[in-house]
Amino acid sequence: MRWISTAAIIAMAATVLSGCETTSPQVAALQDNNTCRMYGIAPGTQLFITCMMQQSGQREQRRVAQNQAIAAAFVGAAVIGVAAAAASSGPYYRPYYRCGYYRCWY
């Protein structure tokens, strides 16, 4: 049962490391700029500013959703780890034998 605890720890570490990938604000702004230009919106207009704000808001929503997924994975891995530890450390029942001259019994 110890391998289940090890697997839970590895899963949590992988989840943590997958959340470390972030983009800098400059790269994000450039991506938003390119997306709005791809839609055919001219830079400097009010529509372009609105498009940039929408792109920024969508990116923030994706980031929040990703953080919630990571938190849920941590909770799930912790529950699995606790359940595995409880299952592996439970009492082991061994019957008590008494033996006489002719036989053994419980």
DSSP structure string for the chain: -HHHHHHHHHHHHHHHHHTT----HHHHHHHHHHHHHHTTPPTTSHHHHHHHHHHHHHHHHHHHHHHHHHHHHHHHHHHHHHHHHHHHTSPPP-PPPEE-SS-EE-
Whether the CB-CB separation of 11 and 70 falls below 8 Å is answered with: no
Q: What are 88's two structure tokens?
A: 């592996």
Model pLDDT, residue 102: 80
Per-residue pLDDT of the chain (106 residues; tens, 9 = 90+): 455 556 656 666 665 555 555 678 889 889 999 999 999 999 999 999 999 999 999 999 999 999 999 999 888 888 887 777 776 666 666 666 778 778 777 6
Model pLDDT, residue 70: 92
